[in-house]
Amino acid sequence: MRIILCGFGVVGQSLVKLFVSRSEDLYAKYGLKPRVVGVFDSRGSAVDQSGLDLEKLIDTKKKTGTVKNYSKTKNALSGIDMIKNLDAEVLIETTASNYKDAEPGMSHITNAMKHKMHVISVNKGPLALAFPSLMELATYNQVMFKFSGTVGGGTPILDYAKNSLRGERITSFAGILNGTTNYILTNMTNGLSFDEALQDAKKKGYVEADESLDLDGLDAAAKLVILANWIMDMKVTMPDIDCTGIRTVTTSDIKNAAKNKCAVKLIASCNKELKVSPIEVPIDDPLCVNGTLNAIAFTSEHSGTQTIIGRGAGGIETASSILRDLLDIRKEIARI
């Protein structure tokens, strides 16, 4: 299967390492032989229609900081150039999420679909701003659009709600969808001030380069949009979310919650309205997880409430979700 990889940061590199470490297993078990024909990072690109040497690609990135030095002929092809000029079945979009105009991911995804490529995205920006129209475009071009890594990283939240609860009608859901804010609030519960907890999270590399994505609830809101569209068949985008972050949470809020045998958590919920805000959650509630964990509770008509808990982020976890999506696409192509 020929693949174009957009972005070669932590997730992209983790994915390629997975391809290398599991190559025999993937072929023996699933008949999948991933062949990366093009990849780019912020400084350049590497292209080989017969398939790039993945170990050399990782090594080049590690030693020189860019895939541009993969071959002697320095490549400056953009993602759009690759989509237009390379033969590939699948585009994997891992560039940074942008909630202003969703670029460059939006252009990569729409162009790939128009060129009849299946698309896997872990970039939340395009889905947060244009989920309904992207699904329509995929249907129109008869391609598959997969995005299980956009919510929950390696924890299969979207898959669980769509497949494990098949036949059930989910009436509402609520959850902790951002591990960074959960880590900060957990540390505040343990006695740190907001600023101290934020600095600690930054030191550990948990905070996005643009901290407002975490602190102002934008990341959680984007995931809420994806969940509401995918699971509840809504037609919503980011402006439909009532969103409040955690910057206003004080030490006294934390102490008051503790008196009520609760903890303050940033909860994204879909009930009668779509909302992201810090609220008190009882400490004996399954949703009340600590550290960087994510948790989401689905309430359905007949099965009651079920909670799924897992690690929400991380390079290898997100890469494993891309691999799941790739295997789904491989299975569908084989069926046709």
* 75-79, 117-121, 297-301: least confidently modelled range: 75-79
Instruction: Assess whether 14 and 65 both reside in one domain.
Output: yes
Tokens 């036949």 — which residue? 167
Alpha-carbon separation of residue 77 from 27, 42, 74, 109, 230 (angstroms): 30, 11, 9, 16, 34
Instruction: Assess whether 277 and 320 both reside in one domain.
Output: no
Instruction: Assess whether 21 and 33 both reside in one domain.
Output: yes
Q: What is the pLDDT of residue 161?
A: 86
| 163 — pLDDT class (breaks 50, 70, 90) | confident
Q: DSSP 3-state assignment of 133?
A: helix
Instruction: Assess whether 198 and 325 both reside in one domain.
Output: no
- Supply the pTM of this predicted model: 0.91
* CA neighbor of 201 nearest in space, from 313, 307, 288, 300: 313
> Is pLDDT of 252 > 80?
yes
Instruction: Assess whether 174 and 298 both reside in one domain.
Output: yes
Tens of pLDDT along 30-57? 999 999 999 999 999 999 999 999 999 9
Instruction: Assess whether 124 and 218 both reside in one domain.
Output: no
Instruction: Assess whether 268 and 322 both reside in one domain.
Output: no
Instruction: Assess whether 273 and 324 both reside in one domain.
Output: no
CATH number at residue 17: 3.40.50.720
Domain extent, residue 104, equals 2-154+315-335
Helix H or strand E encompassing 215: helix 212-215
Q: Which of 68, 124, 146, 223 is catalytic?
A: 223
> Is pLDDT of 318 > 80?
yes
Instruction: Assess whether 214 and 125 both reside in one domain.
Output: no
Instruction: Assess whether 126 and 169 both reside in one domain.
Output: no
Tens of pLDDT along 188-230? 999 999 999 999 999 988 888 889 999 999 999 999 999 999 9
Counting the structural domains of the chain, the total is: 2
Q: What are phi and psi of 323, to 5 degrees?
A: -65, -40
The overall average pLDDT reported for the chain is 93
Tens of pLDDT along 96-128? 999 999 999 999 999 999 999 999 999 999 999
Alpha-carbon separation of residue 220 from 26, 99, 153, 266 (angstroms): 33, 12, 13, 8
> Is pLDDT of 336 > 70?
no
Calpha distance 48→151 (Å, rounded): 32
Instruction: Assess whether 250 and 182 both reside in one domain.
Output: yes
CATH number at residue 264: 3.30.360.10
Instruction: Assess whether 321 and 274 both reside in one domain.
Output: no
Q: What is the pLDDT of residue 327?
A: 95
Averaged over 80-96, what is the pLDDT?
95
Residue 265 annotated as catalytic: no
Q: What is the pLDDT of residue 222?
A: 96
Of the chain, the percentage scoring pLDDT greater than 90 comes to 82
